[in-house]
Structure 1
Amino acid sequence: MAQGLQLAQRLTQSLVLSPQMQQSLALLQAPTLELKALVETELQQNPVLEEVAAPETDQSERAKTDDGEQVEAVDPTEPPADVTFDPATEKADPQTEEFLAEFEKLSQLDQEWRDHYASTNAPTRQSADEEEKRQFMFDSLVAGTSLQEVLLEQVRESGLPEDLRPIGEMLIGNIDDYGYLKANIDELSFSTNIPAVKIEEVLKVIQTFDPPGVGARDLRECLLLQLERAGDQESIEYKIIRDYMDALGKRRIPEIARGLGLEVDEVQEAIASIGRLEPRPGRAFLADNHQYILPEVFVNKVGDDFVVTTNNEQIPHLRISNTYKDLMAQSGNSSEVINYIREKIRAGKFLIKSLHQRQQTILNIAIEIVKRQREFMEKGVSLLKPMTMVQVAEAVGVHETTVSRAVSSKYMQTPQGIFEMKYFFTAGIQTASGEGLSNTSVKDMIAEMFKKEDTTKPLSDQEIVKMLQEKGIVIARRTVAKYRSELNILPSNLRKVY
């Protein structure tokens, strides 16, 4: 049979998310700061949308006369009275009639959104002084300087010969964010045809830069560079790192003491001094140090109850521009203009609805979390109860994947501090009394036990198991070992202080 290209048709069925549904899911999953960026993009792409400032929203929600008499609020989304189309006095265009019906629905939706905004946002509004302080804080933030920029500046000021500066820039380009040189000298020499001796010479210069220890190829060299910078080449600390790095990592203190001919107490003091050195010289320049958390939900205790509110201060409030409603009400527009504006209006209407639905979904989930974790809100982590997304989804009336998207990268400010919303969803351990206890609470209890242990006789995993059994918590030794590893606590033989 001859080989060749063939064209064939095949009919299949598959589930595909519509663009509107994809947009709605993206809005639900995005944190507040990302949400603002998404909305700003939509504002640029959709000319009929405009953002309403908070003061304007407040004025449109409620208006009073000078003598305090309540008057009817003006809906900013309704067309002006002088351009409203009246089918009883003029000949009605079917497209215009249909479009005005859509405006009627949109006006109702916008009013519901503003009512929701006013009711949920009122408890969290700040005074003028607090808002001024908050804005001053944001205006005072400056962009940090990267480690590479600091090192390049020091190269220019180091007096390094012009012919060696490109080598210095190449080496700095191979230093990671923690300050370590990640490239091998021989590999760099082979790829650049530069003698390894010359590269090593420039590296020695870079290792004299700030922060101390930068340009090291491993932890041992990093610590030695810091001690050399301090002039401690003859110290016990320097000898321990130079000759007994492996034993130090395994906490073999008696072995180090015998090798150096010192007392165990002297070695322990030197190790404590080593612990004060910086294992990651570039840590101060990491971008993660400049990340800020903006809570999506606030939980405040009012009397005996907990009041849950969403952070509507940062959510853009949108409406359809009156200019385009005026344009639609005018006669003589072509069908292309009407269809274009109609599509943009529908897209804007869906975006406004999606924003409202996002806030309501997050609020409903947060209320259910607080309802189930009331004891945690009052007393702390030790009383965190096991809870799954399926349980919350069933209570709220949504799918568990919706809960997962809604709590993704979202934070909740509680009386116990700020927590990621996913923090409250943990597996449970059955106690002797039949009650469920969160594994996070058990882990917190284990950490507290290790913190109070006698360092000369550290607790073993089996001893922790027995102590938990006395509290009515039955778990296996391997589970304790797993929790200890997650808490970054060494085994008992490595924690022992002689």
Structure 2
Amino acid sequence: MAEASLHQSLSQQQTLAPQMRKSLEILQASTLELTQVVRMALETNPVLEDITESVSLDEEGPDPEEADSMEYLNETDDDWRDRSIMEGRSSPWTSEDEERRQRLYDSIVAPETLQQHLQNQLDLSMVDPDIREAAQAILGNLDERGFLDMPLKDLAVRMEIRPANMNAALKLVQSFDPAGVGASGIPESLLLQLERAEGTETIEYKIVRDHLEDLARKRYPQIAKTLGTSIERITEAASRIGRLSPNPGGDFDPTGNPYILPDVVIEKDDEGNWSARLTGEHLPNLRINDFYKDMIGRNGTDSKARQFLRDQIREGRSLIRSISLRQETILAIAHQLIKHQPQFLTKGPRFLRPLTMNDVADELNLHATTVSRAVAGKYVLTPHGLMEMRAFFATGYQTSSGEEVSNAGVREAIQQLVSQENPSKPLSDDALAKKLAAQGIKVARRTVAKYREQLNILPSHLRKSF
């Protein structure tokens, strides 16, 4: 029989204080999510009020000469109070109040973004802090389909993260729901979906891995011969592959949400200079109700009620500070976008310059993961339409003339070339690469193919019309 024994060990683990965690959640929240959080706070925290909707109270406040009232106020951090105290209840919360608040909380459903969905899974993952930081960097560089929009090794260099940690983090992200996220493109995403469903030894997996081009051209007899199976089996496999999602993040597509509101508007001021302004008018303007602050120092207030008020005021002020910090950070990032992207603002997407989150983080004295959280799910209204804030951050290339052009600029150039091509003689990926080179943009053929897929442009043989 094995002997039982006790062992003592020491270990270090990074943990976030509740206040810091809440601040990060507020920073990362989209406009709609933040609006829901604030509305819920107004419903559940009695000391909070919306200045735009507040109604003056007729109750007489404490004597302004009472010196203790400000001292009590300085000891607290938030603005919450329950109507039950006004009604003379000895206990500020009843079981029915709690039930009603919980029902309200459960009934509030904010549309979840892909970034938020993945972040929630990362928050629940028991991983080393270094792996978590690397995974956070990956989440900040996924496009709307859930694909990693730059090579993993480049991301590791730019974020100053060890390649081994980045590789482990990518495997972690690729294990998240929905299946297929974290891939470098559609082929890898399909393989990830197939691997999770039935493993790597199926006919479907082998077709996608080794015969995707033949599948696109419907060369079923050739595939069947190579794999040693029947044409009927290949046809069945093709049908199953066709039911996979080429866009794993599609269910979270923000463009399908008709209620998207920009967080920032970038426009020219009266002097012709670019300026940024927050669009916070749709957010309630919170403050702590003075009546409840004064009740803390009022003689006769029950000690439990006084402690309750202090706790609620602390939470309320914490929420107000977190929202203020969120808005300041977003605006500071917007000013950096104006500084780095004047050509884009003037001339359009073709002139979007390469820019990394590290570049902005260094100038704002922030961590790159903080910038990543801040831009997640945020939108900027520009002269060229509504854009995700993270779309401003991309790697790029240097033209033969020494100018820099971002990945988005290269995609824009490819889109323009395809739109102008002869339908009977569509441009191959190699021809597109040569035409880009003629414009001074040297891009490999496989990179052109990758960007073409991201633009949902079919290969040349499937674009040909007779």
Superposition TM-score, scaled by structure 1 size: 0.54
The one-letter amino acid of 1:348's match is: G
Match of 2:316 in 1: 348
Change (3 A) 1:328 1:84: farther
2:74 to 98, 101, 104: 101
Match of 1:83 in 2: 63
Q: Equivalent residue of 2:274, what SS?
A: strand
Percent identity between the two aligned chains: 42
8 Å contact from structure 2 (residues 49, 286) kept in 1: yes
8 Å contact from structure 2 (residues 78, 313) kept in 1: no
Change (3 A) 1:44 1:81: closer
Match of 1:485 in 2: 453
Separation in 2, partners of 1:389, 1:287: 22
Post-superposition offset of 1:102: 4.4
Question: 1:26 aligned to 2:25?
Answer: yes
Q: Equivalent residue of 2:277, what SS?
A: strand
Match of 1:311 in 2: 279
Change (3 A) 1:483 1:386: same
Root-mean-square deviation (Å): 3.3
Question: 1:37 aligned to 2:10?
Answer: no
1:153-168 → structure 2 map (5 Å cutoff) = none
Match of 1:333 in 2: 301
Q: Equivalent residue of 1:83, what SS?
A: coil
Post-superposition offset of 1:5: 5.7
Post-superposition offset of 1:106: 8.2
Separation in 2, partners of 1:97, 1:487: 60
- Give per-residue Cα distances to partners, 1:153-181, cap 9 Å, x unaligned: xxxxxxxxxxxxxxxxxxxxxxxxxxxxx
Question: 1:293 aligned to 2:260?
Answer: yes
Separation in 1, partners of 2:460, 2:73: 75
Structure showing greater radius of gyration is: 1
The one-letter amino acid of 2:440's match is: G
1:200-211 → structure 2 map (5 Å cutoff) = none
- Any gaps of 5 or more consecutive residues in structure 2? 80-213, 220-249
Question: 1:302 aligned to 2:269?
Answer: yes
The one-letter amino acid of 1:449's match is: L
The one-letter amino acid of 2:408's match is: T
Post-superposition offset of 1:465: 2.0
- Give per-residue Cα distances to partners, 1:53-96, cap 9 Å, x unaligned: 17x69xxxxxxxxxxxxxxxxxx99x987523534xxxx6xxx6
Change (3 A) 1:475 1:345: same
Separation in 1, partners of 2:5, 2:291: 55
Separation in 2, partners of 1:369, 1:442: 19
Change (3 A) 1:370 1:424: same
Change (3 A) 1:248 1:348: closer
Match of 1:125 in 2: none
Change (3 A) 1:46 1:460: same
- Any gaps of 5 or more consecutive residues in structure 1? 58-75, 108-246, 253-282
Superposition TM-score, scaled by structure 2 size: 0.58
Change (3 A) 1:83 1:371: same
Instruction: Give the paired residue count.
Output: 299
2:376 to 394, 405, 408: 408
8 Å contact from structure 1 (residues 84, 329) kept in 2: no
- Give per-residue Cα distances to partners, 1:410-463, cap 9 Å, x unaligned: 111111111111111111101112221111111111111111112222222222
Q: Equivalent residue of 2:377, what SS?
A: coil
8 Å contact from structure 1 (residues 361, 406) kept in 2: yes
8 Å contact from structure 2 (residues 425, 464) kept in 1: yes
1:340-489 → structure 2 map (5 Å cutoff) = 340-489=308-457
Change (3 A) 1:410 1:328: same
Post-superposition offset of 1:4: 6.2
Match of 2:47 in 1: 48
Separation in 1, partners of 2:302, 2:275: 52
Post-superposition offset of 1:290: 5.4
Q: Equivalent residue of 1:429, what SS?
A: strand
- Give per-residue Cα distances to partners, 1:235-259, cap 9 Å, x unaligned: xxxxxxxxxxxx997499xxxxxxx
8 Å contact from structure 1 (residues 298, 412) kept in 2: yes
Post-superposition offset of 1:470: 1.7
Relative contact order higher in (CA < 8 Å, ≥ 6 apart): 2
8 Å contact from structure 1 (residues 32, 294) kept in 2: yes
Separation in 2, partners of 1:290, 1:423: 18
The one-letter amino acid of 1:299's match is: I
Post-superposition offset of 1:9: 4.9
Separation in 2, partners of 1:367, 1:12: 42
